[in-house]
Structure 1
Amino acid sequence: MQRRPQEKKTMKRNTRSVIFQTLRCSKGLTLLGQCVTGNLRRALSDKLSRLTADRLTKLEPGAAVSRFVGDVDTVETLFTSGIISIAADLCKVVGIFVIIGGKNPGLVLMLLLLVPVIFAFTRFVQKRSLKAQVENRNAVAKAANHVPETIHNIRTIHTLEKEEYMEQRYSGYIGESYAAMKKTNFFDAIYSPVILLFNAVVTAAVLILSATGIPVVKTFFGMSVGTAVAMISYIPQVFSLLESIGMEIQTIQSAVAGVHRIDEFLAQPERWDTDEGPRFIEDAPCVELKDVCFGYVSEQEVLHDLSFQLLPGEHLTLIGRTGAGKSTIFKLLLGQYQPQSGHVRIHGQEAALIPDFAKRRIFGYVEQTFHPVPGTVADQIRLFDETIKPDMVESAARVVGLHHAIALLPDGYQTTYAPDLFSQGQAQLLSIARTIAAQPEILLLDEITANLDADTEQTVLAALRKASQNRTVLSISHRFYEQAGGKQLHI
């Protein structure tokens, strides 16, 4: 029976486990905070690389950035200032209690009875403040994501005259943040006056009880005038320290809100386990889809009982309306998604079980637009793959007819890439060179000439014909089918 890939269980890793692991190897709270920050960001980065394609497409960039930056920074603040300040204030409170206990034990008892009340009130404020902090961080993440989204789609926004709509959305996010901050400020505002009220009540009670003539009461609260003056000066210090601790708890609450958001991110499901390497079956079809059913939403199928095969060296062009599932087939072949039912196989092996490190030698995927990476022109083709040697980079550029243009650059292949170095057509040729540099067996071509003029289109198609020789090709380009031939499949 064919083994079905199972979804990988989420790593049992959260913010607390990262912090505890850091505690073992760090000395000093400031150093600990820096170590925790570094380890949390590494854990988040590792988690990001393990997310499923479905999670990645739904993840808002602004929300992810806010977790890496804002939320992690609040956790660092917890160690660099919050804990240190609270520890210092608690030591001061204990010291004052010891001094007061020697002079007026009744006052100590009264303060000890009030501490649970103050603690309960502090918890009341904390819970509501934490909720408001989380609401604010979520709203800020939405607002942060809205700005680059608007810039990226600015032409579409202008064309469809949706400026007011985008402005209203942004105003809504700012409004949510403002409402959450109002709640936080309200709880901050009521906390100090309540502590001051406790201070006044205790001071008045101690003075009244110390002046009473009842012997039992005088045993606990009786004191001289000088002692009374000293006690009156100590009482505000105690409540000032308690108030300071309460305000420092707000720093902790902000960190806790950050921890909750980080834990939400770390708890997301990860990609399924893959095989250790390619396990191809001899004489199996190069590409095979059998009874495949798939939908991004379970109740809305994009593909229903789809079946076809491709033998090595065959060319197939997918034909169908927009949204029919042509690009979805590519995603299934690349193992980014698993079908709800049926099989997607490469040489008899389930596509979802092929490990990532092996895919570049199997698949070459040419997208509609070229996506550059930081680095040289050679890096655009090599993609920092050390197994692709300079002669392989040059060979790929020669196949697509781009070697001469690159040789004319100031530093040839070592010229730092910039968008103005190549025309749109040359950038697409660079994309094809990148695809074939690793000498993949299967080419996936996704509407590669959709945004090109007629002359440039012919140049790119000619390069593709050369690149497709002796390779299995799956294409969504009707123009490529007209020139290269092969089979067609209506989706």
Structure 2
Amino acid sequence: MMAPRTSVPEPHARRSMLGVLRVYLGPLKWQVALLSALLLGGTGLNLLLPQLLRRFVDNAKLIGGADVGLLTRLAALYIVLAIGVQLMTAGATYVGARVGWTATNRLRADLMAHLLSLDMHEHKERTPGEMIERIDGDVTALSNFFSQFAVRVFGAALLLTGAVIMFWREDWRVGAGITVFTVITLLAMNWVRQLGVEPTKAEREASAKLFGFVEERLTGLEDIRALGAGGHHLNRFLQTQRDFFTRSTFSWRRRSVVWQLSMLLFAVGYVGLLSAAVGLYAAGTITLGTAFLLYQYMSMIEEPIDQLTQQLQDLQKAGASLGRVSEILALRSQIHGGTRTLPPGALSLRFQHVNFTYNPADPDTRGVLHDVSLELPAGQTLGLLGRTGSGKTTLTRLVSRLYDATGGQVCLGGVDVRDVPLHDLRTRVAVVTQDVQLFQASVRDNLSFFDPHISDEQVEAALLEVGLGAWLDRLPEGVRTPLPAGSLSAGEAQLLAFARVMLRDPAVIILDEPSSRLDPATEALLTAAMTRLLAGRTAIIIAHRLDTVARADRILVLGGGEVLEHGERAVLALDPRSQYAGLLRAGVTAEDEGVLA
């Protein structure tokens, strides 16, 4: 996979096709120069062929007898030049495809990097299927356009211009007529081309919805089957597919107007040219060979315009795709890092009058967090309890700046997290979610996140550290063994996530409900690994079970986005009025008490 090597272009450049061509074709200037040379050479030879044909026809009809040797030489030269045209055309096609795919591969890499850098709320508003359609479907449409544009559109423009000039050289009257015909044809096709832009854009949007629908249903396949809802989802799929089909056919009909108009105009053009050629020949103004020459040049007018009409349909698709890609590239992250560095070692954590809402644009929306303040000394563990929707996960997201607080301040090691470079911050803060994401890759790649600088020995050491040594011994290829998604139990997946953190050696660790779905035996293994993982580090543990936070230094109870209780765990456990002590006395789980969820 290619690494992004270009900066994301500025919005005003992305809004135009020329801007994209400049950004992504500019670094390929030498290949573009070679492509231009091939196109110019091929066009020049193509324009010379009718001249040879005229000489051949005029010499072949001489009354005194044709010069067989001259005809042979003309025929041989014609064949050689025709082969040269084909070779140059093939070379231009190859170089054009190479230039086009190189440029769009860079665009695809830039787009992927840009999507990964966007704020979380942008990803919440769009399905993964829609994002896939942006990177794959839209960029593929652009790659087809880029790879054919230079060869067919630029080459056709050269041939068209050359043919018109040759008409003027032969007879100014014919040249003037052909020029007017060409201008009218191009203007008419450019006008009708606009008819297909919006329908094509709607077609791409429908395609993105279809991708998103399929992705969501495949993700939720277990629930759909368990609840017997397959038929209902199939009906909805057919509705979504019908919408895509309807928009696709409508878009195709609009785009087809271009070539239909081209056929009509050229029928008129050929009749006019042949009438003029017959009239001029009858008047003795031109020879029979010149009449053939005019017909050949007319076909050179038709061929590039036909190419342009075909490419204009691809241009419609590319224009719609470029607009949709530009919309994504125009999005800008509101989360920017600073320049301050975090102190070494374990870091203290402080929330100071923190407020947060997922919709800051709406002042009437009640925030998720309200005036949250707390202090967590470096190297200590905070047990975070609260009902579902109380703001537990949101609070931890502010530490790694997946979101920014809409009010107040979050500090690590006495430094405002907004003043720290994002890469440095997320290197020092590790998050282990309840739903661990595993990839269809090797064990090594799952733990290192495809980082080639991490050695196999480091991966093995991390697995041994979290208690997965016996599991590792059973793998046929060790850490290089492929790890199919869904092949691990919940406990093994959590331990692998712990091993990921071990490889990074962060200063702050956030565990989101690490033992909520585990049996007691697996939970005991996980607890032992967690003890080793948290040693010497600052940690926040979001928990449903009280056993999970039994060794935490401090307890924080959230309710309705506010701090209900906060203090040292040992002190709260001895305070008969604390909610934490009440839970301990009752000997119940968080769900039974109703304080937690």
Matching residue of 2:29? 24
Distance change (3 Å), C-alpha of 1:55 and 1:107: same
Matching residue of 1:124? 191
TM-score (norm 1): 0.81
Return the match for 1:257 from 314, 317, 320: 320
* Identity over aligned pairs, percent: 22
Q: Verify the 8 A CA contact 1:96 1:234 in the aligned structure 2.
A: no
Aligned partners of 1:231 and 1:392: how far apart in 2?
75
Q: Verify the 8 A CA contact 1:397 1:433 in the aligned structure 2.
A: yes
Matching residue of 2:243? 176
Aligned partners of 2:171 and 2:134: how far apart in 1?
50
Distance change (3 Å), C-alpha of 1:197 and 1:225: farther
Matching residue of 1:157? 224
C-alpha displacement at 1:310, in angstroms?
0.9
Greater alpha carbon shift after TM alignment, 289-298 vs 430-439:
430-439
Aligned partners of 1:429 and 1:145: how far apart in 2?
31
Matching residue of 2:355? 293
Q: Verify the 8 A CA contact 1:364 1:440 in the aligned structure 2.
A: yes
Q: Say yes or no: does 1:475 pair with 2:541.
A: yes
- Which one-letter code corresponds to 2:223 in the other structure? T
Gaps of 5+ in 1: 1-8, 212-217
Matching residue of 1:274? 337
What CA deviation, in whole Å up to 9, does each residue of 1:246-296 have, x standing for no partner? 2232223322233222222222103633234533499x9811111111122
Aligned partners of 1:234 and 1:57: how far apart in 2?
59
Q: How does 1:136-215 map to 2 (within 5 A)?
A: 136-201=203-268
Q: Verify the 8 A CA contact 1:275 1:354 in the aligned structure 2.
A: yes
C-alpha displacement at 1:333, in angstroms?
0.6
Q: Verify the 8 A CA contact 2:195 2:255 in the aligned structure 1.
A: no
What CA deviation, in whole Å up to 9, does each residue of 1:89-128 have, x standing for no partner? 4444445545544666444434433444323321222112
Distance change (3 Å), C-alpha of 1:386 and 1:67: closer
Q: For 1:478, what is the secondary structure of its paired residue? A: coil
- Which one-letter code corresponds to 2:211 in the other structure? A
Aligned partners of 1:96 and 1:184: how far apart in 2?
33
Matching residue of 2:4? none
- Which one-letter code corresponds to 2:23 in the other structure? V
Aligned partners of 1:338 and 1:47: how far apart in 2?
19
Q: Verify the 8 A CA contact 1:104 1:222 in the aligned structure 2.
A: no
Q: Verify the 8 A CA contact 1:146 1:170 in the aligned structure 2.
A: yes
Q: Say yes or no: does 1:322 pair with 2:388.
A: yes
Gaps of 5+ in 2: 1-6, 15-19, 36-94, 560-597
Q: How does 1:237-252 map to 2 (within 5 A)?
A: 237=299, 238-239=301-302, 241-252=304-315
Matching residue of 1:402? 468
C-alpha displacement at 1:136, in angstroms?
1.5
C-alpha displacement at 1:415, in angstroms?
4.4
Matching residue of 1:40? 107
Aligned partners of 1:481 and 1:404: how far apart in 2?
25
Number of aligned residue pairs: 475
Greater alpha carbon shift after TM alignment, 284-293 vs 447-456:
284-293
What CA deviation, in whole Å up to 9, does each residue of 1:158-214 have, x standing for no partner? 345543553344334433332332233323443344334434555667789999xxx
C-alpha displacement at 1:346, in angstroms?
1.0
What CA deviation, in whole Å up to 9, does each residue of 1:33-83 have, x standing for no partner? 233123212322332332223223434333333333333333333343343
Aligned partners of 1:489 and 1:423: how far apart in 2?
30
Greater alpha carbon shift after TM alignment, 79-88 vs 315-324:
79-88
Q: Which has the higher contact order (CA 8 A, sep 6+)?
A: 1
- Which one-letter code corresponds to 2:521 in the other structure? D
Aligned partners of 2:197 and 2:449: how far apart in 1?
44
What CA deviation, in whole Å up to 9, does each residue of 1:352-394 have, x standing for no partner? 4433443466333222133334655455445456787777655
Distance change (3 Å), C-alpha of 1:11 and 1:19: closer
Q: How does 1:451-470 map to 2 (within 5 A)?
A: 451-470=517-536
Matching residue of 1:433? 499
What CA deviation, in whole Å up to 9, does each residue of 1:409-436 have, x standing for no partner? 4455554445687543233222223324
Q: Verify the 8 A CA contact 1:133 1:184 in the aligned structure 2.
A: yes
Greater alpha carbon shift after TM alignment, 229-238 vs 10-19:
229-238
- Which one-letter code corresponds to 1:65 in the other structure? I
- Which one-letter code corresponds to 1:46 in the other structure? A
Matching residue of 1:442? 508
